[in-house]
Structure 1
Amino acid sequence: MNSDVRYRVERIALALMSASGVVVLIADLLGWLDALAPGGALPKVTLLILSTVTVFLLLEIDRLRKLDVVQEQVTALDEAVQTRIARLDDTVQSQVARLDSSFRTQLAKLDIDTVAQQLKQENYLGVIRVHEHFPETEFNAFVDAASQEVVVLQTWMPNLEQLRQSLEKALTDQRIPVRIMLLHPSSPVAGLRDEALRRVRDPAFAVDVRASVQRCLAGLAELHTAVPAESRELLRVRVYNSLPSIAVHKVDEHFLVSSFLHRQLAIDSAQMEIDGGDTTMGRQVRQELDTLWDIGHDVAFPDWRESLRNIDL
Structure 2
Amino acid sequence: MSVDVRYRVERIALALMSISGVVVLIADLFGWLDALAPGGALPKVTLLILSTVTVFLLLEIDRLRKLDVVEDKVTQLGDTLRTEVARLDGSLRANLSKLDIETVAEQLRQENYLGVIQVHPDFPDARFCAFVEDATQEVVILQTFVPNLAHLQPSLEKALVDHGIPVRVMLLYPSSPVAGLRDEALRAVRDPALALDVKARVEMCLAGLAELHRAVGPAGRALLRVRVYNSLPSIAVHKADEHFLVSSFLHGQLAVDSAQTEIDGGDTTMGRQVQRELDTLWEIGRDVALPDWRESLRNIVW
TM over 0.5: yes
Q: How big is each residue's C-alpha offset from its partner over 1:133-173, in whole Å with a ceiling of 9 and x where there is no partner?
A: 00001001111111110000000000000000000000000
What residue in structure 2 maps to residue 285 of structure 1? 274
CA distance in 1, matches of 2:83, 2:226: 65
Aligned to 1:239: 228
Match of 2:31 in 1: none
Q: How far did 1:311 drift? A: 0.4
Which residue in the other structure is 2:118 paired with?
129
Deviation at 1:211, TM superposition (A): 0.3
Please say if 1:158 is aligned against 2:174: no
Q: 2:94 corresponds to which residue?
A: 105
Q: Which residue is 1:206 aligned to?
A: 195
Write the letter of the residue equivalent to 1:157: V
Which residues in structure 2 correspond to 1:49-198 (within 5 Å)?
101-198=90-187
Distance in 1 between the 2:281 and 2:85 partners?
A: 60
Q: Which residue of structure 1 aligns with residue 12 of structure 2?
A: none
The CA distance in 1 between the partners of 2:116 and 2:145, in whole Å, is 25
Distance (whole Å) between structure 1 residues aligned to residue 159 and residue 107 of structure 2: 31
Distance 1:153 1:183 in 2: 9
Q: Which amino acid aligns with 1:198?
A: R
* 1:284 Cα deviation from its structure 2 partner: 0.4
What is the RMSD computed on CA atoms of the aligned residues?
2.1
Q: Runs of 5+ in structure 1 lacking a partner?
A: 1-92
Name structure 2 gaps, 5 residues minimum.
1-81
Which amino acid letter does the alignment assign opposite residue 178 of structure 1?
V
Helix, strand or coil for the counterpart of 1:248? Answer: strand
SS at match of 2:228: strand
What one-letter code is carried by the residue in structure 2 that aligns with 1:106? N
- Corresponding letter in the other structure for 1:244: P
Aligned-partner Cα distance in 2 for 1:240–1:123: 34
Q: Kindly state the Cα deviation for residue 200 of structure 1 after the two structures are TM-superposed.
A: 1.5
Q: Distance in 2 between matches of 1:100 and 1:168?
A: 54
**Partner SS state of residue 158, structure 1:** coil
Q: Retained in 1: the 8 A contact 2:206–2:290?
A: no
- Aligned partners of 2:229, 2:126: CA distance in 1, in Å? 28
Instruction: Specify whether residues 97 and 141 from structure 1 end up closer, same or farther in structure 2 by C-alpha distance, changes over 3 A only.
Output: farther
The answer to whether residue 257 in structure 2 is matched with residue 268 in structure 1 is yes
Structure having the higher Rg: 1
Instruction: Determine the C-alpha separation between the residues in 1 that align with 2:184 and 2:223.
Output: 35
Taking structure 1 as the reference length, what is the TM-score of the superposition?
Answer: 0.68
Instruction: Please tell me whether residue 308 in structure 1 is matched to residue 271 in structure 2.
Output: no
How many residues are matched? Answer: 225
Whole-angstrom CA distance in 1 between matches of 2:169 and 2:285:
10
Distance 1:246 1:207 in 2: 19
Q: Mark the CA change 1:95 to 1:134 in structure 2 (over 3 Å): closer, same or farther.
A: same
